[in-house]
Amino acid sequence: DGGITQSPKYLFRKEGQNVTLSCEQNLNHDAMYWYRQDPGQGLRLIYYSQIVNDFQKGDIAEGYSVSREKKESFPLTVTSAQKNPTAFYLCASRTTGTSSYEQYFGPGTRLTVT
Amino acid sequence: GQNIDQPTEMTATEGAIVQINCTYQTSGFNGLFWYQQHAGEAPTFLSYNVLDGLEEKGRFSSFLSRSKGYSYLLLKELQMKDSASYLCACRLLYSGAGSYQLTFGKGTKLSVIP
């Protein structure tokens, strides 16, 4: 089955600790995205990557970092510099063929920092 | 800046028809998506409009007017399982073919009642 996996589904951390959220896809998609969703808010773009070894900041990149060493993997690190890290994090991917624009989403990771 | 507006909540009766509106003011607009998101789950693709007009897909239809910055999602023969949030997202073209971002509205929470 092709798809996007995010693990774990729920993650708990103490304030001041860095934490890495995983995102893996076997859809052979070139582009990958990280979004954050807060209650009553839409999805906000954190980082995105169009190809391996390249990534761009989204609208709310401060306090986050990413890497894209492999096509299928796009991990997100939430650093201690992120002031309000508790949120629902969604990873997405899409092919960069010009005929397809749909982003496919993973199941999400709910991060709680106390 | 980018601005996308949707009603926060709507309630409709099982078997009825409901229309969810989305208005947008964005630069680089190149199409509009509708996604469905059940609570705590990933968004799933419903429709994509790039040209003006109505796209029908089973019980769901989506309309776009680029000149008015307006779209709506029409759900017919409502079922209890349609209770979910509906996200409007604008595709914004930046540079290079296939290089784009999605900017999301805050979502409309639809409750279907018996």
User: How much is the mean pLDDT over chain A?
Assistant: 92
C-alpha span between A34 and A49 (Å, rounded) = 9
Q: Mutate one of B30, B104, B109 to test the A interface: name it (highest A CB count within 10 A).
A: B104
Cβ of B45 within 8 Å of Cβ of A102? The answer is yes
Cβ-based contacts of A42 with chain B (< 8 Å) = 4, 87, 89, 104-107
Mean pLDDT of A51-74: 95
Please indicate whether residue A59 or residue A90 has the higher confidence score (pLDDT): A90
Mean pLDDT of A27-48: 92
Residues B38-49 pLDDT 10s:
998 999 999 999
Q: Is B42 on the interface with A (CB under 8 A)?
A: yes
Cβ-based contacts of A45 with chain B (< 8 Å) = 101-103
Q: Of A30, A65, A36, A43, which Cα lies nearest the Cα of B99?
A: A30
C-alpha span between B49 and B36 (Å, rounded) = 15
The amino acid present at A56, given as its one-letter code, is Q
Task: Assess whether pLDDT exceeds 70 at residue A1.
Answer: no
Please indicate whether residue A41 or residue B14 has the higher confidence score (pLDDT): B14
Mean pLDDT of B8-23: 98
Q: Is B94 on the interface with A (CB under 8 A)?
A: no
Mean pLDDT of A47-51: 92
Residues B80-89 pLDDT 10s:
999 999 999 9
| SS3 annotation, B30-72 | EEEEEEEECCCCCCEEEEEECCCEEEEECCEEEEEECCCCEEE
pLDDT of residue B18: 98
Please indicate whether residue A83 or residue A96 has the higher confidence score (pLDDT): A83
